[in-house]
Chains A and B, each alone.
Chain A
Amino acid sequence: MKRVSASPHVHTSMDIRKSMLFVIIALLPSALWGVYAFGLRALAVLLVSVASALLCEFLLGLIDGKRTTGDLSAVVTGLLIGMNMPPAVPFYIPVIAACFAIFVVKWTFGGLGCNWMNPALAGRVFVFFSFSSAMSAFSAPRALAADALASATPLSAVKTAIGGGMMHLDYEGVLSNLGYSTTALADTVGSALHISPYTVDAFLGNIGGCIGEVSALLLIAGGIFLIATKVITWHIPVVYLGSFAILSWIFGGVRAGDGLFAGEVLYPLFTGGLMLGAFFMATDWVTTPTSRRGEIVFALGCGFFTFLIRYFGSLPEAVSLAIILMNILTPTIDRYIRPRKFGYVKPVKEASK
């Protein structure tokens, strides 16, 4: 007897598991760069993080009688959490973050597809506010290991300096004033292209920061891979980065006393985990709007709040908080912003009496 089912009778082979696998593949170059830059300790953090996310998912599955570890979503969550940890973080922190993500943020709301906040981001923010000092202790990357200063992230260093009254300087000015060093490669490339060597280092990943957020280059490559394989579309990353870049250019110089249209663009884009956020966090399927128009509104919101928090907030968590804020607004966006229906004609208004 043949099977009878409703149409369609053919389906794409791109299922959830395969998509998650592609996300993992896209994240790996940046994660491996983190391991190279910060040493085996970083690898241990990544492994602990993935393992605890998986274990948590598995144990909760026992309660439900479901086996959901196979869909690889817990691996993605764990990997993202690991990549969002400082290299020298004590191991219990990624464990707590992963358990918070999987248990509180995902499982209690009904598991995959039901959470209203990106689990990895929520996990990161939770441990950031719980263990602020451990989460803010960074180590210098391999290329700048000799430089003691390089163990602070340049972004927070600049913010502190400007807050402390160092005015009328761009990033390069502030950083060189502070005595930040650059790699020889960045000096060569920077002078050839007439851009700041600090920007080149940030692009390549020779800066202090979380394990997986430092190399803008490899994160962009991973993002392009995801777009090419149609796991995500270009809309959210491009609109997010674009709106943030425009706002930075217009208003970014205000705090340093330079007035409008004096802000820098490239350096802010390559730092602060923005690439990781734009390509891998703000594109999370579950917690972003489902319509194209909704996605664009979402991405504009992310760009705006990232700018606002980074330049005028007192916390260094701009990207995470902006995306979480927009996650919260997602159901509302989805309710009011819908695609235009094919053949939709505006109903003729009845003449009022």
Chain B
Amino acid sequence: MLHLSTFRRGGVHPDDRKELSKNSPIEVLPVPHNLVVPMSQHLGAPAQLVKARGDEVRRGELIGQASSFVSANVHSPVRGKIVDVTTVRLANGATCQAAVIQPDEIQGDEFTVRHDWQQESPESLLATIRDMGIVGMGGATFPTHVKLATQGKKVEALVINAVECEPYLTSDYRSMLERADETIEGIRIIAKILSPQKIIIGVEANKLDAAAHLEERLATLKVTGIEIQPLKMKYPQGDEKQLLKATMGREVPSGKLPIDIGAVVCNIGTVYAVWEAVVFHKPLIERVVTVSGEAVATPRNVLCPVGTRTGDLLAFCGGSAEDADRLISGGPMMGFAFADENAPVTKGTSGILALKAENIETGVCVSCGKCVAHCPMGLMPNRMFRNIKYGRYQEALDLGLLDCKECGCCAFICPAHLPLVQGFKLGKKMGRRK
């Protein structure tokens, strides 16, 4: 019997709905008629636009320069012309500067020359990753060169996050099936930078076929030292704190980072981007996006340039139904609902979902304690929410509000369907203001 580990405290089991798109292979989106490339696609300072309206750009040419250490370069996803520089509203509600690029009729493939990375030093690999604008592709979009720069701290384990615990999303699953060899080489590149004592790939039980495929490729390629750890299905296992608890049995202390317990967590999509960056010097200019949901005609996994308007992506998948109620960027548990189909795909967009209306009503708190039992962080969402509701932000902070990562387990399970996460987002903002 296969041993499946998981994290212990809290968590929920939403219907995973991956069957909608898990069997569609990654398809390449035909180059759209124009792209909106935002300068802020990552956590940290926005990139500085280094091109102007009217400039011709090559595919992969730098158009946004990282403006500080925690920032990331932005490159043109296509060959074409910058026809406008504008302000765009991203799916997460933030606004930022963006270059509108009109692609040329003819696009070439510039990234065909293999570079031998085995001879390179870790520093030079890290520099390449920085130059290519690689960020975490699981959704948090933390610049990868910052994460991998461990400043001499010892790395005990490199944990590859292939959990993909958000319902609907299948881009990582497809990547594992279709890009196994590249992913394995990417892991070896990251391992060269970090020299970890062990490497673990965490995969949930609904993707055991992909795990078996990776295992088989590891054996064929005679790569050793990479362990695949199957995990019981439970949301939010893809969160790095829960993943480390599940794979290493350790808790990241409140307010600390994984590196403080000797671990680095890397999303499996990011690993592929690192591979492209190091082997072909290809910047992060495209990604696989799962387009799914009950209100999408044909759910698919689409490889599309960063900057693709979500409307174009939806149209490629047969459009969204009349009764589509919400559009979501990311997964349904932590993703953002957005209204404007002009919002572009960014480096962190793992999915675009069109969902039908849910038949739910908000009630009153009945102190059932389900939010407490299911909170993976051991918080008391009911009490924090009540404090925030009455403006007692300090009390909410004292109860551990800043440990809340808005995973949504509490609001998912709440029988009164209270907007708990919304409350916590507000509470954090108001608490900081004081």
* Chain A residues proximal to chain B, CB less than 8 Å: 1-12, 14-16, 18-19, 71, 111-113, 233, 285-292, 295, 334, 338-345
Query: How many residues of B are in contact with the other chain, CB < 8 A?
Result: 64
Q: How far is the CB of A262 from chain B (nearest CB, A)?
A: 38
Contact A3 B325 (CB under 8 A): yes
Taking CB atoms, residues of chain A closer than 8 Å to B373 are 233, 291-292
Docked complex Cα distance between A2 and B378 (Å): 34
Docked complex Cα distance between A339 and B371 (Å): 12
Closest A residue, CB atoms, query B374: A12
Q: How far is the CB of B11 from chain A (nearest CB, A)?
A: 11
Taking CB atoms, residues of chain A closer than 8 Å to B368 are 19, 285-286, 290
Q: Which of A2, A18, A288, A342 is in CB contact (< 8 Å) with B9?
A: A342
With A11-B360, A15-B363, A285-B366 in contact, do A343 and B338 touch (Cβ < 8 Å)?
no
Contact A341 B400 (CB under 8 A): yes
Q: Which of A285, A343, A345 is in CB contact (< 8 Å) with B367?
A: A285
Decide yes or no whether B270 CB sits under 8 A from chain A.
no
Contact B241 A71 (CB under 8 A): no
Contact B337 A343 (CB under 8 A): no
Docked complex Cα distance between A153 and B235 (Å): 50
Which of B37-45, B103-111, B404-412 lies on the face that meets chain A? B404-412
Docked complex Cα distance between A286 and B367 (Å): 5
Taking CB atoms, residues of chain B closer than 8 Å to A341 are 254, 377-379, 400, 403
Closest A residue, CB atoms, query B364: A113
Q: What 8 pairs between A and B have smallest CB-CB spacing? A: A290-B369, A8-B408, A6-B422, A285-B368, A341-B378, A9-B332, A113-B366, A343-B254
* Chain B residues proximal to chain A, CB less than 8 Å: 9, 12, 14-15, 167, 241, 245, 251-254, 256, 324-328, 332-339, 353, 355, 357-358, 360-361, 363-369, 371-373, 375-380, 382-383, 400, 403, 406, 408, 411-417, 419, 421-422, 425
Taking CB atoms, residues of chain A closer than 8 Å to B357 are 3
Taking CB atoms, residues of chain B closer than 8 Å to A291 are 369, 372-373, 380
Contact B361 A111 (CB under 8 A): no
Contact B377 A6 (CB under 8 A): no
19 pairs, A vs B, C-beta closer than 8 Å: A1-B339, A4-B326, A4-B338, A5-B337, A8-B334, A8-B411, A9-B326, A9-B335, A11-B360, A11-B411, A12-B14, A15-B360, A16-B366, A285-B366, A286-B366, A288-B367, A338-B380, A342-B241, A342-B376
With A290-B368, A295-B369, A340-B378 in contact, do A10 and B14 touch (Cβ < 8 Å)?
yes
Interface of A is mostly: loop
Contact A7 B363 (CB under 8 A): no
Docked complex Cα distance between A10 and B408 (Å): 9
Given contacts A6-B419, A7-B333, A9-B358, 6 further A-B contacts (CB under 8 A): A6-B422, A10-B358, A339-B372, A339-B375, A341-B254, A342-B245
Closest A residue, CB atoms, query B254: A343
Taking CB atoms, residues of chain A closer than 8 Å to B324 are 2
With A285-B366, A342-B403 in contact, do A2 and B337 touch (Cβ < 8 Å)?
yes
Closest B residue, CB atoms, query A235: B373
Closest A residue, CB atoms, query B338: A4
Contact B326 A2 (CB under 8 A): yes
Docked complex Cα distance between A332 and B422 (Å): 28
Taking CB atoms, residues of chain B closer than 8 Å to A9 are 326, 328, 332-333, 335, 337, 353, 355, 358
Closest B residue, CB atoms, query A285: B368
Taking CB atoms, residues of chain B closer than 8 Å to A338 are 380
Taking CB atoms, residues of chain A closer than 8 Å to B367 are 113, 285-288, 290
Closest A residue, CB atoms, query B357: A3
Taking CB atoms, residues of chain A closer than 8 Å to B422 are 5-6
Taking CB atoms, residues of chain B closer than 8 Å to A339 are 9, 372, 375, 378-380
Docked complex Cα distance between A213 and B253 (Å): 49
With A11-B412, A290-B372, A339-B372 in contact, do A2 and B400 touch (Cβ < 8 Å)?
no
Contact A7 B335 (CB under 8 A): yes
Q: How far is the CB of A62 from chain B (nearest CB, A)?
A: 18
Contact B252 A343 (CB under 8 A): yes
Taking CB atoms, residues of chain A closer than 8 Å to B380 are 290-291, 338-339
Q: How far is the CB of A337 from chain B (nearest CB, A)?
A: 11
Contact B337 A16 (CB under 8 A): no
Q: How far is the CB of A232 from chain B (nearest CB, A)?
A: 9
Taking CB atoms, residues of chain A closer than 8 Å to B328 are 9
Docked complex Cα distance between A143 and B198 (Å): 70
In this complex, the member of B324, B333, B375, B415 whose beta carbon has the largest number of chain A beta carbons within 10 angstroms is B415
Contact B335 A342 (CB under 8 A): no
With A15-B360, A16-B415, A342-B403 in contact, do A113 and B365 touch (Cβ < 8 Å)?
yes
Closest B residue, CB atoms, query A344: B254
With A12-B413, A295-B369 in contact, do A7 and B377 touch (Cβ < 8 Å)?
no
In this complex, the member of B337, B376, B406, B422 whose beta carbon has the largest number of chain A beta carbons within 10 angstroms is B337
Q: How far is the CB of B60 from chain A (nearest CB, A)?
A: 33
Taking CB atoms, residues of chain B closer than 8 Å to A290 are 367-369, 371-372, 380, 382-383
Docked complex Cα distance between A344 and B402 (Å): 13
Taking CB atoms, residues of chain A closer than 8 Å to B14 are 10, 12
Taking CB atoms, residues of chain A closer than 8 Å to B353 are 9
Taking CB atoms, residues of chain A closer than 8 Å to B406 are 7
Q: How far is the CB of A208 from chain B (nearest CB, A)?
A: 35
Docked complex Cα distance between A288 and B373 (Å): 13
Docked complex Cα distance between A338 and B376 (Å): 14
Docked complex Cα distance between A71 and B417 (Å): 14
Taking CB atoms, residues of chain A closer than 8 Å to B411 are 7-8, 11
Taking CB atoms, residues of chain A closer than 8 Å to B325 are 2-3
Contact B336 A7 (CB under 8 A): yes
Docked complex Cα distance between A16 and B333 (Å): 21
Q: How far is the CB of B409 from chain A (nearest CB, A)?
A: 8
Contact B416 A16 (CB under 8 A): yes
Taking CB atoms, residues of chain B closer than 8 Å to A292 are 369, 372-373
In this complex, the member of A9, A15, A233, A340 whose beta carbon has the largest number of chain B beta carbons within 10 angstroms is A9
Q: Which of B363, B377, B414, B417 is in CB contact (< 8 Å) with A342?
A: B377
Taking CB atoms, residues of chain B closer than 8 Å to A111 are 364
Docked complex Cα distance between A71 and B364 (Å): 11
Contact A2 B412 (CB under 8 A): no
Contact B167 A10 (CB under 8 A): yes
Contact B253 A6 (CB under 8 A): no
Contact A19 B167 (CB under 8 A): no
Contact B333 A10 (CB under 8 A): yes
Contact B378 A4 (CB under 8 A): no
Docked complex Cα distance between A304 and B392 (Å): 37
Docked complex Cα distance between A19 and B338 (Å): 32
Contact B254 A4 (CB under 8 A): no
Taking CB atoms, residues of chain A closer than 8 Å to B361 are 15
Taking CB atoms, residues of chain A closer than 8 Å to B425 are 6
With A11-B411, A16-B363 in contact, do A343 and B253 touch (Cβ < 8 Å)?
yes
Docked complex Cα distance between A289 and B369 (Å): 7
With A11-B411, A290-B382 in contact, do A343 and B335 touch (Cβ < 8 Å)?
no
Contact A345 B412 (CB under 8 A): no
Taking CB atoms, residues of chain A closer than 8 Å to B417 are 11, 15
Q: Which of B327, B334, B421 is in CB contact (< 8 Å) with A2?
A: B327
Contact A4 B421 (CB under 8 A): no
